[in-house]
Amino acid sequence: MHYLRDRGTIHPLGSEITPRAVYLDRRRWLALAGAAMWPALSPAQTARPGKLAALPGSRSTVPGALVMDKTTPYGDASTYNNFYEFGTDKADPARHAHTLKPRPWTVAVEGEVKKPGNYDIEALLKLAPQEERIYRLRCVEGWSMVIPWVGYSLAELIRRVEPTGNAKFVQFVTLADRKQMPGLASSVLDWPYVEGLRMDEALHPLTLLAFGMYGEVLPNQNGAPVRVVVPWKYGFKSGKSLVKIRFVAKQPPTSWELAAPSEYGFYSNVNPQVDHPRWSQATERRIGEDGLFAKKRATLMFNGYEPQVGQMYAGMDLRKQF
């Protein structure tokens, strides 16, 4: 689990220090994984689970947007969640998020932009063509999934609202409504849940404003009706059920950083070489695929998106700016 204040913490086993043979193996695997980021074969478009309204997306042509890994079953991706507004147990969001009302919904765009305003969710849905993107999502807790999202680049929205020269960062504010979210009664985090990105990260074509997954609208527990997905960063950077996008001059505070600054930094790029203070980040368990005792996968630098995003961090000390 993420966090110190939470009881019943599941600490990853202490036996994750990688033996040399595995390390060498991983280097070879990394080279292969790099090549696999550029699919020669187009993966089939995702079959709908048939539970919610359809939201089709055309296959994305953004470089790196379609990873070749096997997709996580919908049943796992929609029942093993982190959404603390509905409780801290992985099963809580699927159990409790039926009280979230994804309609009507507006997203406020404010701060350092020439065209601030309130976007109704229906207008936001049609702002740009919906695309299917198959991304890895890795949680800082050491598990990962491969999810076919539906959405468009956040950059599409950013371009339209015309940030001023003072806009250096983007803050994301997510819903905090006690009537809809039972988890707000707990002080495990300061509400609302807030996250942020540097402007170039927010503008990167892989940064997704997601409205759906598996060809349907998002289930409430995955962040309906709209969320962010930043595939090269730990899962917590991808705020769910967004209500506000704020353009700011200074690096904004983020929930996990506020909760435990020594454990969670602003950048939070997936980096197998930087351990979490309480556990290794070298490997991960793929949900729905690997059993609890199955061999873990090597975690890839920037979650495997290094060819696309590595350049943004050139010259930064990623141990200090974690």
Residues 276, 8: Cα–Cα separation, whole Å? 19
The least distance separating ligand MTE from the CB of residue 11, rounded to whole angstroms, comes to 16
> Which structure tokens are listed for 322?
């974690």
Instruction: From the list ligand MTE, Mo ion, none, pick the one residue 238 interacts with, judged by a Cβ distance below 5 to 8 Å according to partner type.
Output: ligand MTE
**β 58-59/106-111 pair status:** unpaired
- Considering only the stretches 4-12, 52-60, 237-245, 314-322, report the one whose residues sit in contact with ligand MTE under the rule CB under 6 A: 237-245
Q: 286 and 142 in contact (C-beta within 8 Å)?
A: no
Secondary structure tally for the chain: helices H, strands E: 8, 13
Which residues from 289-318 bind ligand MTE, rule CB under 6 A?
Answer: none
Instruction: From the list Mo ion, ligand MTE, none, pick the one residue 135 interacts with, judged by a Cβ distance below 5 to 8 Å according to partner type.
Output: none
CB within 8 Å of 116: residues ≥ 6 apart:
108, 109, 110, 161
> Which structure tokens are listed for 131?
């695309």
- Considering only the stretches 68-76, 104-112, 131-139, 150-158, report the one whose residues sit in contact with Mo ion under the rule CB under 5 A: 131-139
Per DSSP, helices labelled H in the chain are 20-36, 74-77, 92-96, 121-125, 154-161, 199-203, 255-259, 306-309
- Considering only the stretches 3-11, 79-87, 112-120, 267-275, report the one whose residues sit in contact with ligand MTE under the rule CB under 6 A: 79-87
The least distance separating ligand MTE from the CB of residue 166, rounded to whole angstroms, comes to 27
Which residues from 123-162 bind ligand MTE, rule CB under 6 A?
Answer: 137, 139, 145
What number of CA atoms fall less than 13 Å from residue 85's CA on the CB side?
26
Residues 306, 309: Cα–Cα separation, whole Å? 5
Which residue in 235, 252, 272, 304 binds ligand MTE (CB under 6 A)?
235
Query: Could you say whether residue 238 binds ligand MTE (CB under 6 A)?
Result: yes
Please identify, using beta-carbon distances, which residue of 85 and 306 lies nearer to ligand MTE.
85
Which residues from 75-104 bind Mo ion, rule CB under 5 A?
Answer: 82
Integer angstrom CA distances of residue 23 from 27, 28, 143, 307: 6, 9, 19, 21
- Considering only the stretches 4-12, 150-158, 230-238, 294-302, report the one whose residues sit in contact with ligand MTE under the rule CB under 6 A: 230-238
Q: 154 and 106 in contact (C-beta within 8 Å)?
A: no
Closest CB to Mo ion: residue number: 139
Query: Could you say whether residue 72 binds ligand MTE (CB under 6 A)?
Result: no
Query: Could you say whether residue 231 binds Mo ion (CB under 5 A)?
Result: no
* Interaction site with ligand MTE (CB under 6 A): 81-85, 137, 139, 145, 174, 193, 222-223, 235-236, 238-241
* Interaction site with Mo ion (CB under 5 A): 82, 139, 235-236
